[in-house]
Structure 1
Amino acid sequence: MVKSSTAEVEERAVAVIGLACRLPGADNPDQFWEVLRDGLDATSETPADRYDVDALYSPHPAPGTIGARRAGYVSGMAEFDAEFFGISPGEAAELDPQQRLLLMSTWEALEDAGQRPEALAGTRTGVFVGAARSDFVEEQYRRGLSTVSANAFHNYRSLLAARLSHAFDLRGPSIVVDTACSSSLTAVHSAVMSLRAGETRLAIAAGVNLLLRPDEGVLMTQAGTLSRDGRVRFGDADAEGFAPSDAVGVVVLKPLRQAIADGDRVRAVIAGSAIGNDGYTSDSVLTPSLQGQVDVLRWAYEDAGVSPADVDFVEAHGSGSPTLDPLEITALGQVLGEGRPADRPALIGSVKTNIGHAEAAGGVAGLIKAVLALEHGQVPPSLNVTRLNPHVAWDRLPLAIPTRLQELPSAGRALVAGVSGQGSSALNAHVVLRQGETVTARNADPRRPGSDDEVCLLALSARSGAALQDLVRSYIHYLSPGGVGAELALRDICYSAATRRQHHPYRLAVMAGSHQDMVRALGDPARPVEPEIASLPLAAVAEQYRRGHEVRWERVFGPDHLYVPLPTYPWQSRRYWPGERVVEAAEPGADLATTVLREHARTASADYSDNSLLADMGIDSLARVRIILRLASDHGYEVEAEELARLRTVGDFRNWLHVLEAQAA
């Protein structure tokens, strides 16, 4: 029974305005859709930089062994643009890659949402992160207590959300959620509740999971719950268990009414959600309950004001367990089957068949899949299904698992999807989505009148010259035939780049009246501008921007512009890992002080002087600890922390090091 009125639902609805992800086989949502659409298996052999699978693997579940060689892994796990976030190379190498990837993915999600981080600074924006692993810091403890340093403080799981709040100066709630495999979907639900309560006006909900050690795999091998070939077989008769996976997923959420008023891109709408524990309805804490799942499904659809019979598809939790999947499928059939026409079964699938089970981040991966499916009006195939699980009463349940890309039929209304998450904590979560306005209003007439003859100003910027060059190349591809921007109005592209992107020190501004001319201008920005264009008032704005001055963009762009998707920031990433030193490039013949400062100061640059304050360069207490360890390991210098703390300027530091070098000689 639907309890919420249409007016109540619309008032409480939340828009998904931005997405970003790092998943096996995909570094962004577009690549992820290709994996899903094409039915690709993105799992792979365990790489050597995770753990020595050859030493641990056994086809038989002997103590201390792991029963699978395969899982889901993201590429470039150790890659990070430390300079962009003002993090020194020494700190970056000791920072949990979960935090690093979350930082970059959150920036990408905010760009996708058209939300400038500088405009969010100081606001009550909330951060909700689902996470259950602390592999990086626990691996450090495993190497021996003598290796533990103060750097470990930065890597506690509780700081995953705090890192984002600190980096972007977000003042709202900052919470890490751990309900096991329902963590990230519970984080989404918590974000929705915060927005509805008016506690926040914008929320970032995320999930992160990186497999850096084999411990859980060994445990699941002993429990008999690990898939031996590292593949998930949701709903299949041969399903044998869990196949773990990396994942980073971020969604940006805003109240729907506010998103529409602000001209945001509404990629999907969260109409409702619910979470609930099984309580005492199951035999044990670790045993899922049919009643608990049914309850949460009913609550979610009541909250959304949606009849379960109208649900077009569900992204199931779908872990591939031979015992748990039938329970989940039965619960879905009981709830979605009420009043459903026999000739319109609800489609159910699991992203885990493509990428593996991302554990705490699995829910947000499923949510992103559902958003993409609604945008494309298609349900991707669920893989590894050859014979349906005989323990499910398929003939009595109005459900079907798609094994090929399937078009969703038009029902004269927005399509509806559900996303489920279940944790070994017995915490169930379900989110109800419907199609966003991007499917209809925004795509109805992308090449609007005036888009091909109005001279427009494209303003691009980056944190370095190399990044700006990469960004220019991205825009050339974007604007050229076949690129995403080729089908969008040039005036909207330029408006979005100027008003919905943060502006950095390295800048470029070009003007043109068509996509083709803009590509030419980007390819040769030094080419003289035609006199008729150079004489426009816009030329003065372009020069003002190039010189680094603030521009009042609302005066440059009039009304009736749309925010459209743009290329994302081109990261200048390098590999950072403990024990692998990455020293920033220094001038030839640089002394030890210059080298050490470049490695450990957050804001060290070529223009600092002997009078520069160490504190202003980011040499804090933890940086001093790293410097002490560096000097001890590389040069044998024994330094007291108090001795280093007394130094105030670069000149003091340089003179102090000269004394140490002289004493050692």
Structure 2
Amino acid sequence: MITQINQPQISIKQTSEPDTINRNTFSDQPVEDLLKQILSDETHLNPSQIDMNAPLEKYGIDSIMVVKLTNRLEKIFGSLSKTLFFEYQTLSELKEYFISNYAHVLHKKFQPENNVKDKGVQEKSSQPKFSTRFIAPEAVQKISDNKDQDIAIIGISGRYPMSDDLFSFYDNLRSGKNCITEIPASRFDVSSLYHPDRTKEGSIYGKWGGFINDVDKFDALFFNISPREAEIIDPQERLILETVWHTFENAGYSKKSVGGRKVGVFIGVMYGEYQFLGMESTLAGNVVATSSSYASIANRVNHFFNLNGPSMAIDTMCSSSLTAIHLACESLKNGEIEMGIAGGVNLSIHLNKYITLSQGQFLSTDGLCKSFGTNGDGYVPGEGVGTVLLKPLAKAISDGDQIYAVIKGSAINHGGKTNGYSVPNPNAQADVISEALKKSDINPRTISYLEAHGTGTALGDPIEITGLIKSYQAYTTDKQYCAIGSVKSNIGHLESAAGIAALTKVVLQMQHKQLVPSLHSEELNSNINFADSPFVVQQQLQDWKPIKLSENGKEITYPLRAGISSFGAGGANAHVILEAFEPEAKSELYEYNTHHLIVISAKNADRLKAYCLLMADYLEKHPCDLADVAYTLQIGREPMDERLAIVVSKIDELPEIFRQYQQNSLNETIAFTGNAKNKQSTSELIIDEEDGKQFIDNLIQKRKLNKIGMFWVSGINIDWQLLYDTPPKRISLPTYPFEKKRYWISIPTSPK
């Protein structure tokens, strides 16, 4: 039986007999002296110089010293949390922790004369499983029903290392593929600076990364951008434009259908390295200024699509894109926007990033992101771009949108002051997760997967697990019911795009009802006691089954639920809770042999042939309803100049017809082609006639699909909704195949 979410049962093992031994049985002073002496031994400061209330960072605490201090304390108290010095930031706080949780140990150590009379006291465990410092008081408050606050993900698109689309991305995840390579020579040359010794100054000790294809390519004319301007625009800006177009198409929305509406754009980004290439070009004699404006990455989307909602780039470092998703959700809940585009982008295009990360000792020495694995010593940078289209769930259902998943709640915060600028705060991480749980009205015992930040460091991962345990233990003491993993083990740390990559992985897992393996964790991090936590590292591909729990004598099956964490190096944290969406069973709308009109278009014949091949391949692998395919292509794609219209009654006829177009061998009785621009004068003549529009409407009313198709390829606009009494569904279909033409700043080989 699970505990009601508004009345969590907090169960933490007591460490002493409270009625017999407590803090009043001995003085605080010996404990203070003990802690001061241990810190003195490591820092070589006189104990009298150590202030119990001073931040530990004042004494030069670093990760190496943390390990040594913890080892010293474990000789006295037994096994301790390896994140203790991240949870407590002064010796005074540590003193209170030990007095509250290890009173019996301290009593034995400092009151030996009383040991004989205390032998009759039954000693319970002197090693608490978790720190008791954090108890979420807000968890006990009554949470109002917030189903009207649910946000639907209705469109999604992205490109990730070794994955040009989400189909290949999931194939790589499912097969457990490591998508990390050495830095391609086409990016930058690290050979002169590389040295495997991470302590060697002036060198780069990490030469690996996750890289996406064709970052130098762009379909400039598609977006009405001149070749010269395309060359100086940050490639991240170009990638976002193409990805947002694909996201709208994936949701079944054309550019025209979203233009002029209150649609917000929220994009996470943290590197603007393209400007460095511009400076190098200028110094070499080719004077040119390249643009790396973060704001422009979002603003250009609003400009091109004519979107009137907020437009902002968000930089919270590694939590940027998940924070962007949170802000989009809040804007939707506040009624500021109808829909929201949210996501992030990240590229590694200049040596400067690897120099910076080597200086800060952030990089992995062996090119692996060992999330929750042993010997993890840093992360591998990765590239990626991804966006989602968001809409309030109730509106998405009423609009007949395809719903990939539901965002139940999200939260953001900051860790405040810690023992170092880049040192995480597990208490703040616990707070942000607890806040997301509260907003979601979800008991974490019903969450069966956690997509962790999981950078793969010896202490970073234990700190994250500590925060998770602190937030979950306010609701349940059950163990190892929730799988945990990190996409970073596959594609590296995508930094500002890490959150959207993580969310995309979870959405795909929900779609396929599978949990994919988290890599490089065969031997688990010894600083994490997973057996005594709610979590078990997902190390193989398996079915993702819903959780079933007994509550009030009844078995309840919960939908698939997942938490997603993203933590910035500067302390900015974000957490999102996702739930699978189960649509109502679809009733048959049309007879199997009903004819439908399939329309598809592109900027030119070459792109249309490429598009037809994509459609043929997709339909051969993915069963679809013919009516849904027809409807989605009619209302969810922007009509372009080069056009193809096909009248068919069976879905399995389509792949062959699409291939026939590519081979110039169409059956012209059912397939019609044309260029709307070339036939514009003819189409305008028809429309300009007094009864022209009525004529087209009559064709639609009588479902004269062949004639409608012929008029459409000649450039006539069709009101497709008139074809349907009950509209079919928007579905996911292949998106536009952009032309890949190189636009990149040129750097002279020698100064002019």
TM-score class normalised by the smaller sequence: 0.7 to 0.9
2:603 maps to: 463
Structure 1: distance between partners of 2:424 and 2:250: 37
2:215 maps to: 77
> What does residue range 290-329 of structure 1 map to in structure 2 within 5 Å?
290-329=426-465
Shift, 1:151, TM fit: 4.6
Shift, 1:262, TM fit: 0.8
Instruction: For residue 450 of structure 2, give the secondary structure of its aligned residue in structure 1.
Output: strand
Question: Is contact 1:13-1:255 (8 Å) kept?
Answer: yes
Pick the aligned partner of 2:261 from 106, 109, 123.
Answer: 123
1:420 aligns with 2:565: yes
1:52 aligns with 2:189: yes
Pick the aligned partner of 2:247 from 109, 132, 137.
Answer: 109
Q: What RMSD over aligned residues (CA atoms) do the two structures have, in Å?
A: 2.4
1:262-301 CA deviation, whole Å, 9 max, x = no partner? 1111100001000001123x22332111111111010000
1:174 maps to: 311
1:538-582 CA deviation, whole Å, 9 max, x = no partner? 22211221110110111123314111211211112112111299x
Pick the aligned partner of 2:646 from 510, 522, 535.
Answer: 510
Question: Is contact 2:402-2:731 (8 Å) kept?
Answer: yes
1:19 maps to: 156
1:232-265 CA deviation, whole Å, 9 max, x = no partner? 0011121111211111111111111111111111
> What does residue range 469-548 of structure 1 map to in structure 2 within 5 Å?
469-480=609-620, 483-484=621-622, 487-522=623-658, 523=660, 526-529=666-669, 537-548=704-715
Shift, 1:410, TM fit: 2.4
Structure 1: distance between partners of 2:295 and 2:273: 13
Question: Is contact 2:562-2:579 (8 Å) kept?
Answer: yes
Question: Is contact 2:151-2:391 (8 Å) kept?
Answer: yes
Identity between Structure 1 and Structure 2 (%)? 32
Cα distance change, pair 518–356 in 1 and its aligned pair in 2 (3 A): closer
Shift, 1:57, TM fit: 0.9
1:639 maps to: none
Shift, 1:145, TM fit: 5.7
Question: Is contact 1:420-1:430 (8 Å) kept?
Answer: yes
Pick the aligned partner of 1:570 from 716, 734, 737.
Answer: 737
1:388 aligns with 2:524: yes
1:594-636 CA deviation, whole Å, 9 max, x = no partner? xxxxxxxxxxxxxxxxxxxxxxxxxxxxxxxxxxxxxxx9xxx
Note the residue ranges of structure 2 that are not aligned, 5 or more in a row. Answer: 7-138, 548-556, 672-698
Question: Is contact 1:375-1:436 (8 Å) kept?
Answer: no
Q: If the length of structure 1 is used for normalisation, what is the TM-score?
A: 0.82
Question: Is contact 2:250-2:731 (8 Å) kept?
Answer: no
2:346 maps to: 209
Structure 2: distance between partners of 1:5 and 1:120: 39
Corresponding letter in the other structure for 1:565: S
Equivalences, count: 570
1:561 maps to: 728
Shift, 1:489, TM fit: 1.4
Cα distance change, pair 5–580 in 1 and its aligned pair in 2 (3 A): farther
1:258 aligns with 2:395: yes
Structure 1: distance between partners of 2:195 and 2:284: 32
Corresponding letter in the other structure for 1:50: R
Corresponding letter in the other structure for 2:322: L
1:230 maps to: 367
Instruction: For residue 256 of structure 2, give the secondary structure of its aligned residue in structure 1.
Output: helix
1:424-460 CA deviation, whole Å, 9 max, x = no partner? 12111000100023xx53xx559x4645300110011
Note the residue ranges of structure 1 that are not aligned, 5 or more in a row. Answer: 582-632, 634-665
Structure 1: distance between partners of 2:477 and 2:656: 56
1:289 aligns with 2:425: yes
Instruction: For residue 475 of structure 1, give the secondary structure of its aligned residue in structure 2.
Output: helix
Instruction: For residue 109 of structure 1, give the secondary structure of its aligned residue in structure 2.
Output: helix
Shift, 1:73, TM fit: 0.6
1:87 maps to: 225
Higher Rg: 2
Instruction: For residue 509 of structure 1, give the secondary structure of its aligned residue in structure 2.
Output: strand
Corresponding letter in the other structure for 2:334: A
2:412 maps to: 275
2:593 maps to: 453
Q: If the length of structure 2 is used for normalisation, what is the TM-score?
A: 0.72
Shift, 1:339, TM fit: 4.3
Corresponding letter in the other structure for 1:454: T
Shift, 1:16, TM fit: 0.6
1:402 aligns with 2:569: no
1:132 aligns with 2:270: yes
Cα distance change, pair 149–264 in 1 and its aligned pair in 2 (3 A): farther
1:194-250 CA deviation, whole Å, 9 max, x = no partner? 000010111100111100112232233233321012210011121111211111111
Cα distance change, pair 65–540 in 1 and its aligned pair in 2 (3 A): same
Cα distance change, pair 7–546 in 1 and its aligned pair in 2 (3 A): farther
Structure 2: distance between partners of 1:276 and 1:146: 44
Shift, 1:468, TM fit: 1.2
Structure 1: distance between partners of 2:668 and 2:188: 56
Cα distance change, pair 552–530 in 1 and its aligned pair in 2 (3 A): closer
Question: Is contact 1:181-1:361 (8 Å) kept?
Answer: yes
Structure 2: distance between partners of 1:204 and 1:75: 23
Corresponding letter in the other structure for 1:169: N
1:9 maps to: 146
Pick the aligned partner of 2:509 from 368, 373, 380.
Answer: 373
Question: Is contact 2:628-2:731 (8 Å) kept?
Answer: yes
Shift, 1:344, TM fit: 5.0
Instruction: For residue 77 of structure 1, give the secondary structure of its aligned residue in structure 2.
Output: coil
Cα distance change, pair 7–474 in 1 and its aligned pair in 2 (3 A): farther
Question: Is contact 1:309-1:337 (8 Å) kept?
Answer: no
Shift, 1:69, TM fit: 1.8
Corresponding letter in the other structure for 2:534: P
Structure 1: distance between partners of 2:289 and 2:717: 38
Instruction: For residue 56 of structure 1, give the secondary structure of its aligned residue in structure 2.
Output: coil
Corresponding letter in the other structure for 1:430: H
Question: Is contact 2:347-2:384 (8 Å) kept?
Answer: yes
Pick the aligned partner of 2:379 from 223, 231, 242.
Answer: 242
Instruction: For residue 436 of structure 2, give the secondary structure of its aligned residue in structure 1.
Output: helix
Shift, 1:338, TM fit: 4.3
Question: Is contact 1:336-1:346 (8 Å) kept?
Answer: no
Question: Is contact 2:670-2:706 (8 Å) kept?
Answer: no
Shift, 1:335, TM fit: 2.1
Instruction: For residue 146 of structure 2, give the secondary structure of its aligned residue in structure 1.
Output: helix
Question: Is contact 2:479-2:532 (8 Å) kept?
Answer: no
Instruction: For residue 222 of structure 2, give the secondary structure of its aligned residue in structure 1.
Output: coil
Structure 1: distance between partners of 2:285 and 2:273: 16
Instruction: For residue 417 of structure 1, give the secondary structure of its aligned residue in structure 2.
Output: strand
Structure 2: distance between partners of 1:268 and 1:147: 52
Structure 1: distance between partners of 2:627 and 2:338: 29
Question: Is contact 1:71-1:231 (8 Å) kept?
Answer: no
Cα distance change, pair 91–327 in 1 and its aligned pair in 2 (3 A): same
Shift, 1:529, TM fit: 2.1
1:629 maps to: none
Instruction: For residue 129 of structure 1, give the secondary structure of its aligned residue in structure 2.
Output: strand
